[in-house]
Structures are given as C-alpha cells and as structure tokens.
Amino acid sequence: MEKDIHNVHYIKGVNNHMGSKFMEDEGKLSVVLSYLKEKDFYFVDSRTTAHSKGQEVSKKIGLRFLSRDVFIDNNQDYTFILDTLNHLSEKKDPQNKDPFLIIGHPYPSTIEALKKAIPHLKAKGIDIVPVSEMIDIAARKNKFSFRGALFN
C-alpha cells in the first residue's frame, strides 16, 4: 500500500473499487483504514457490498469518510448513463445543501454523458466538486460523513 500511495502524486484520499469481502472484514479493514488515518487521508467507500464496515470502522478511528450514493455507469450504455444523471438532477432537493456523491468510471460513454449533462446540471444550480472539497464541507458542518459530487 505504501508503494501504491507513493506512486500517486498529490493523493488526498483512497477509494475501494472492488473487494466486497474485504470491506466486510472489520479486523482487516481496521488495519488499512488506520494506516490511512496516520497519513491524514480520507476514505471513500464505494459500497460494493451492503455489509460494508467502512463507515463503522472509520468512525471508530476518526478517519474522514464519505460513502457513495450512486454508481452512474454500472451499465456502460451512454443513454442509460445520461438518463441516470438527468434523473438525479430532477430528484435533487434544492433546499438540501448536502453533497451527493456519484461514482463513475473513465469509460468513453461516461465521459460523453457527463459532457452532455454538465450544462444541464449547472443550469439547475448543481456544482460538481472534488471529493476533497466534500470532505471539507462535511468538516465545516461538523458532520462525520456524508452518505453520499453533486450539490447546490
């Protein structure tokens, strides 16, 4: 893990992409998340399993934590992704200022759908921000974490 972190310049946090079984193992997860805490990183749980211990362990050790709300591209179809983004913008309550964490992959269909959706999202008052900014927002609001980077 140290080697991987060393090879990623300007790293601020870590996200799990796979490893559902690992995310359910509190003991092993505690070792990794404690290391992240020592390095002053944050952790984003992709919630690849409904039985993730990510938030529980992060809270115990005081690690800054976010949990994704939606994967936008489990289906790599451009129309599906664009429809998902448009639907999310319709569901977003303008009075709720909490961030909404969306995770996607750098698939060509995802990138094209984002290019198309971003002007629509911005017109609805929705900003796309880095996860590190969401972490800062959570800290300013004295919240441990947000479930669920879209927000007004």
Check pLDDT > 50 for residue 3: yes
- Sequence-distant contacts of 15-19: CB under 8 A, at least 24 apart: 15/43, 15/44, 15/45, 15/46, 15/103, 15/131, 16/43, 16/44, 16/45, 16/46, 16/48, 16/54, 17/46, 17/48, 18/48, 19/48
Which bin fits 6, alpha (ψ -120 to 50), beta or left (φ > 0)?
A: alpha
Are residues 52 and 87 located together in one domain of the fold? no
Are residues 13 and 58 located together in one domain of the fold? yes
Are residues 77 and 100 located together in one domain of the fold? yes
Confidence band (pLDDT; 50, 70, 90) for 140? confident
Domain boundary among 40, 66, 92: 66
Are residues 132 and 79 located together in one domain of the fold? yes
Measured distance CA(54)–CA(81) in Å, rounded? 27
Are residues 74 and 139 located together in one domain of the fold? yes
Are residues 13 and 60 located together in one domain of the fold? yes
Are residues 79 and 137 located together in one domain of the fold? yes
Count: domains in the chain: 2
Are residues 147 and 132 located together in one domain of the fold? yes
Are residues 119 and 139 located together in one domain of the fold? yes
Measured distance CA(66)–CA(118) in Å, rounded? 22
Which of the listed ranges 2-6, 26-30, 137-141 does the model predict with the highest average pLDDT? 26-30
Distance of CA 120 to the CA centre of its chain: 21
The pLDDT tens digits of the residues spanning 30-74 come to 999 999 999 999 999 999 899 999 999 999 999 999 998 888 998
Are residues 76 and 150 located together in one domain of the fold? yes
Are residues 45 and 7 located together in one domain of the fold? yes
Are residues 86 and 54 located together in one domain of the fold? no
The pLDDT tens digits of the residues spanning 81-134 come to 999 998 887 766 666 666 788 999 999 999 999 999 999 888 888 888 889 888
Domain that holds residue 61: 2-66
